[in-house]
Structure 1
Amino acid sequence: MPIATEIATEVEKLVKSKPFYAVAGAGDLAVKELRKLPQRIQRLQGRSEEIREVAKDLPEKAKELAGKAEVYAQHFPEKARVYADHVADRATKIYDEFATHGRKVVSKASGEAARELEEVSEASAPPRASAPKKNGRARAPKSTAAPKS
């Protein structure tokens, strides 16, 4: 098998794989979220005074929680297992959602690319000559002018 065919086969397998679609979906959603970032930064900058007030209370709250640390440590292994199971389930669902979204993104992009390619192809195609009649003469183009009265 020629190397070009082998590469084309591997690329086709990759493009039809769930991980490819998951990456495409995650990338598309990341771009959408990054576009929202400037607005979020502005909102947070407007809340700077509120954040300073909360930060003042942090040392006192840390002392309160330090006394409860031993109780939390006793239950930590059990809670960690439950949380890990939950995270694994959620990760699987998110992966599937990314793949589904990625299929839509890739399908839309390839459809648009195909339409653009078709438009370019049609625009660059040479004009068709009239088909010859059975007697060997070319057909005259149909007139679109209105008949004379």
Structure 2
Amino acid sequence: MPNITDKLRDSKAFYVAAGAGDLAVEKIREVPERLNRLQERTDPKDLGGVALAYATRVGGRAAEVVDGLAERGKKIVSRVEHQKATQQLEESAKSTVRKAKAAAGSAKETTKAAGKAAGDASKKVGG
């Protein structure tokens, strides 16, 4: 039976989201380079107005895109958090942690008892 990780890996939507995020970061990183190229091609006398207009337009649009993606991401995460499968996975993880802690405690007690028994046995054999 496939687990949630396998289901995500088999989901085209998962790869679309990852690709969209990567593309957004790539495009945002290109902004400084584009500004530099614009500065090189523009007459220094006109540079201030053209570069400022471009920077304002690109910077404003980039901020809108980032804000939009962040808001969309929040909605998706919230929706996934409230899905039954996610809640079941969280409960299963909590149960596993509880069982692991109990097993560790039991192993600790068993080790302690075995150490005491070994000490008592060595006293009887040696004494």
- Give TM class, smaller chain: 0.3 to 0.5
* Structure of greater relative contact order (alpha carbons < 8 Å, 6+ residues apart): 1
Greater radius of gyration (CA): 1
Decide which structure has greater helix share.
2
